[in-house]
Amino acid sequence: MKKLLTATAASALLAGPALAEDVTLGVLFGFTGPIESLAPAMGSGAEMAMAEVTESGKLLDGSKVTASRADTGCIDNGLATSNGERMIADGVAGIVGGDCSGVTGAILQNVAIPNGMVMISPSATSPGLSTMEDNGLFFRTAPSDAREGEVMADILKDRGINSIALTYTNNDYGKGLADAIQSSFEAAGGEVTIVAAHEDGKADYSAEVGALASAGGDILVVAGYLDQGGLGIIQSSLDSGAFDTFGLPGGMIGDSLPSNVGPDLNGSFGQIAGSGGEGAEKYFAMAEAAGFDGSSPYSPESYDAAALFMLAMQAAGSTNPAEYGAKIMDVANEPGEKIYPGELAKGLELLAAGQDIDYVGASGVELIGPGESAGSYREIEVTDGENKTVNFR
């Protein structure tokens, strides 16, 4: 990994922009697999931040930033790890990713830690990532599922739901989220009639749905993926009449689910990491102008993940992960002038002048504890075949 020029040679940078160091950031998402419908807008969000910074010419005296995309398959540890290793070999300065929790942990342990590479995930939410020994290399702009479990329990109780059946995709993400939902809902006085795993990629979920139906419950909560097993569970439930209303955690929120299921999904509800306010509205408008849906899940968080990399590099005066990694928490939090989407040039200028910034971004960034988002959520209800935001929590 190249470093910025030493102080002795730094003045040579003023001689011409050709000496500025070009930067490549990896974008390592599940462009295939069980959340493949979400990945394009996530990738576009991250790349929009890079284009904004490149166009400004303000990063490290004119450095250009480009993206190197690769696939995790969401649940394919081998693919994700090999693509992460290729990114390291190609000289990326940081990795925006992974996306799903299991592959993110695999990339962190097998690629990032051995190579001293910083990762910022916009969507890996497993509570297990909070306690993983990461040598200060892992951050995330989406909140932990421990927080989502509390939010979902509140939503269920507020809607008068007293009992749920609960199914989860059989991996780190699904198990951690199911545990969080169960413990939070039971602590709030709710009953969980059954907790059962399901596998992704099956053609027939009638046996799983039969067991869930036998246990009963006011609704079925599906802690799965919207483009594979979670979709199959819902379709089988509707076909058999087992359940007609579904609780939808983050991995189930996306335009493809109501599109694939149809009107029978109306009335189902859930939550996804996200915030309202000035930052979100600015981002949605920027994304619309760029030709993609900025309200798609984890797209705002992806923009923010890429932005944090570049702002931290500016604060450190270096593209070396060993140097800029320690600045990520600084640029993400108070004190300092608030920076919103479309204002990355302003943030870079302030940092170059030695001033502090508080990056708010598109998702209301605030990093706590081991470098993870403090977390706010959009409460979603499916109405007229669309996911509508009905509240913020």
Percent of the chain scoring above 70 in pLDDT:
95
Q: Write down the pLDDT at residue 83.
A: 98
| Tokens 């925006």, residue located | 96
Q: Write down the pLDDT at residue 347.
A: 98
Decide whether 23-142+277-373 matches 146-266 in CATH topology.
yes
Q: Write down the pLDDT at residue 21.
A: 83
Hey, what amino acid is at 12? A
Residue 13 has pLDDT above 90, yes or no: no
Q: Write down the pLDDT at residue 203.
A: 96
Model confidence pLDDT, tens digit, residues 277-331: 999 999 999 999 999 999 999 999 999 999 999 999 999 999 999 999 999 999 9
Name which residue leads in pLDDT, 11 or 75: 75
Would you say domain 23-142+277-373 falls under CATH 3.40.50.2300? yes
* CB-based contacts of 84, cutoff 8 Å, min separation 6: 26, 28, 70, 95, 98, 107, 110, 111, 112
Q: Rounded to 5 degrees, what are φ and ψ at 46?
A: -60, -45
For the chain, domain boundaries = 23-142+277-373, 146-266
**Sheet hosting strand 191-198, strand order edge to edge:** 191-198, 163-169, 219-223, 246-248, 269-273, 377-383, 386-392
What is the total residue count of the chain?
Answer: 393
Model confidence pLDDT, tens digit, residues 212-225: 999 999 999 999 99
Q: Are 47 and 303 in contact (CB under 8 A)?
A: no
Q: Write down the pLDDT at residue 218.
A: 98
Top-level class of domain 146-266:
alpha beta
DSSP 387: E
Q: How far is CA 1 from the centre of its chain?
A: 26
Hey, what amino acid is at 347? G
Residue 333 has pLDDT above 90, yes or no: yes
* CB-based contacts of 311, cutoff 8 Å, min separation 6: 327, 331, 339, 344, 347, 348, 351, 357, 359
Q: Per-residue pLDDT averaged across 225-245, rounded?
A: 98
Model confidence pLDDT, tens digit, residues 110-141: 999 999 999 999 999 999 999 999 999 999 99
Q: Per-residue pLDDT averaged across 20-37, rounded?
A: 95
Dihedral, CA of residue 96, residue 298, residue 51 and residue 12, to nearest 10: -40
Q: Which long-range contacts (CB under 8 A, 24 or more apart) does 337-342 make?
A: 339/311, 340/278, 340/279, 340/282, 341/279, 341/282, 341/283, 341/286, 341/303, 342/52, 342/282, 342/286
DSSP 274: -
Mean of all residue pLDDT scores within the chain: 94
pTM, rounded to two decimals? 0.92
| Range with the poorest average pLDDT among 9-13, 243-247, 257-261 | 9-13
Q: How much of the chain is in helix, strand and coil states, percent to nearest 5?
A: 45, 20, 35
| Tally of CA atoms within 13 A in the half-sphere of 187 that contains its CB | 12
CB atoms near residue 113 (< 10 Å)? 17
Residue 103 has pLDDT above 90, yes or no: yes
* CB-based contacts of 358, cutoff 8 Å, min separation 6: 332, 333, 334, 335, 336, 337, 338, 339
Task: Could you list the beta-strand ranges (E) of the chain.
Answer: 23-29, 65-71, 94-97, 119-121, 138-140, 163-169, 191-198, 219-223, 246-248, 269-273, 337-339, 357-359, 367-368, 372-373, 377-383, 386-392
